[in-house]
Amino acid sequence: MAAAEIGVIGLGVMGANLALNIADNGYHVAVFNRTAARTEEFAAAAGSLGDRVTACATLEDFVAAIRPPRPVIIMVKAGEPVDQQIAALKPLLEANDIIIDAGNANFRDTMRRFTDLDGSGLTFIGMGVSGGEEGARHGPSIMVGGAEEAWNRVEPVLTAISAKYQGEPCAAWLGENGAGHFVKTIHNGIEYADMQMIAEVYGVMRDHLSMDAETIAAVFSAWSTGPLDSYLIDITADVLMVHDAATGRPIVDVIVDAAGQKGTGRWSVIESQMMGVPATAIEAAVAARSLSAMRAERAKAHKRFGVPGQQNRREGQLVVDDLEKALLAGKVAAYAQGFAVMAAASREFGWNLPMATIARIWRAGCIIRSRFLDEIATAFTETPDVENLVLSPAFSSMLVETDPYLRRIVAEAALNGLPVPALAGALGYFDTYRRERGTANLIQAQRDFFGAHGFERLDADGEHHGPWGGQG
């Protein structure tokens, strides 16, 4: 059998589908899984692609099956398992072989691994992959961090297996060391916010307007033909239409309202705080998932406080129309915050992240793919040095149009006790960002009062202290 051109370690859902994608694009791929039975199972199910797959029982056989210099993709659980896999590979690989970590790694771990492998003769790439099972099999969005020379060596296969948007590959080199995994982390933070805001408008329709799942599905289906056109809107319409075989009810009505999370959302919030960049919509989405997990406490609180009765209902369609525009405004905030965090990290780590390119490779394959991202790519192309996405001409106009609807929905939700934390976070962000003189002057006075931290004056340079009389 001919030597493999690339290898994949880890045959879980993502790794298996990525390997099949590679084979489907004409490359011979070697595969290995820690559990030999899984490797055998994968090989048996490869079907017509089997002649381009070499299933290996040992790591030694796996390395030997790949033609040097070897590109090896690791698709295992993030954290210690990646370090263990790298440690097992190192003695078997040769100079100029490339280890590609394609899992959801913390970018700080990725940067450490670059340092750990320095001088080993091996090349390392941290690669963010988005698109879930379907994307891995048929074309994900691929975000590469590492030496540009390493990207050039693997670019043909990665662009071949990536999603395509109007024929353009959704794969790109984004910068040195941890750049790819950082961008993937922020992608997931934006994803959290997007999903949360969708859930919030669903909640308004369900709990305020008393709409059933199928009626709400029709709303999302209609929205998918307009400015909200996206993968997440599409699948929302789809899942709302599915009925549970056991009960006959819409399946969303029998699913426990506790959302899981694997860490990337939290990391995006942590990094936004580390960079000193507000990401209020993303922060609210992560907090909402944590609150959703507190089911026992929420049940006690419900028993103690109840929920407000629904008042001041406007005609349903009026609210639905407002929800569409409010959701669009919230999306602008979430994406603006995410790109602002990436811009800060780019400066911090010297990555020179290409914002327009990031938006372009997110247009297909990834979970947040949408028409919206094409507009973002255009905005960053036309105004590459814009301080914030909301200041670009297209998005400024979009906010002027949608802001009143977001304001109305958040206000009505508050009056009726409907939780919309991400939408409210977006509104708070807009209102704070656009106000030239805010209220932090009082906070600085307080800080100086109790801690002598000093403050700046509007009418004089330098650091000043207040006449507090030694209080605090």
Q: Is the pLDDT of residue 261 over 90?
A: no
User: Is residue 243 classed as helix, strand or coil in its secondary structure?
Assistant: strand
The band of 315, judged by pLDDT with boundaries at 50, 70 and 90, is confident
Alpha carbon 214 to its chain centroid, in Å, reads 28
- Residues with Cβ within 8 Å of 417's Cβ and at least 6 positions away in sequence, in order, are 307, 308
The whole-angstrom separation of Cα 130 and Cα 365 is 7
pLDDT for the residue numbered 1:
54
Task: Tell me what the pLDDT averaged over the chain comes to.
Answer: 95
- Domains of the chain listed by start with CATH number: 6-177 (3.40.50.720), 185-433 (1.10.1040.10), 444-472 (1.20.5)
Q: Roughly how many angstroms between the first and final C-alpha of the chain, as a whole number?
A: 79
Q: 442 is written with which tokens?
A: 């009082």
For 417-461, how does the pLDDT look when each residue is reduced to its tens digit (9 = 90+)?
999 999 999 999 999 999 999 999 999 999 999 999 999 999 999
For 387-426, how does the pLDDT look when each residue is reduced to its tens digit (9 = 90+)?
999 999 999 999 999 999 999 999 999 999 999 999 999 9
Of 270, 246, 200, 252, residue with least CA distance to 416: 200
User: Is residue 43 classed as helix, strand or coil in its secondary structure?
Assistant: helix
pLDDT for the residue numbered 269:
96
For 166-193, how does the pLDDT look when each residue is reduced to its tens digit (9 = 90+)?
999 999 999 999 999 999 999 999 999 9
Rounded to 5 degrees, φ, ψ at 344 are: -65, -45
User: Is residue 173 classed as helix, strand or coil in its secondary structure?
Assistant: strand
% of residues, the chain, pLDDT over 70: 99
Of 374, 367, 357, residue with least CA distance to 171: 357
pLDDT for the residue numbered 2:
66
Total residue length of the chain: 472
For 213-227, how does the pLDDT look when each residue is reduced to its tens digit (9 = 90+)?
999 999 999 999 999
- Residues with Cβ within 8 Å of 331's Cβ and at least 6 positions away in sequence, in order, are 194, 197, 228, 372
Q: Is the pLDDT of residue 228 over 60?
A: yes
Of 353, 348, 347, 399, residue with least CA distance to 380: 353
Q: Is the pLDDT of residue 316 over 80?
A: no
Q: CA of 264: how far to CAs of 10, 110, 331, 358, 430, in Å?
A: 20, 14, 19, 18, 25
pLDDT for the residue numbered 472:
47
Active site residues: 184, 191
Of 407, 268, 223, 414, residue with least CA distance to 329: 407
DSSP class of residue 57 equals S
Alpha carbon 24 to its chain centroid, in Å, reads 27
Instruction: Describe the crossing of helices 421-433 and 316-349 by its angle, rounded to 10 degrees.
Output: 60
- Residues with Cβ within 8 Å of 53's Cβ and at least 6 positions away in sequence, in order, are 19, 23, 28, 29, 30, 31, 42, 43, 46
pLDDT for the residue numbered 224:
95
CB 468 within 8 A of CB 449: yes
Q: Please report where in the chains the tokens 């954290």 appear, as a residue.
A: 79
Of 438, 439, 447, residue with least CA distance to 468: 447
Mean pLDDT (whole number) for 150-170: 96
% of residues, the chain, pLDDT over 90: 94
- How big is the CA angle at 52 (ends 47 and 53), to the nearest 5 degrees? 75
pLDDT for the residue numbered 156:
97
In DSSP notation, 71-135 reads EEEE-S-SSHHHHHHHHHHTTT--TT-EEEE-S---HHHHHHHHHHHTTSS-EEEEEEEESHHHH
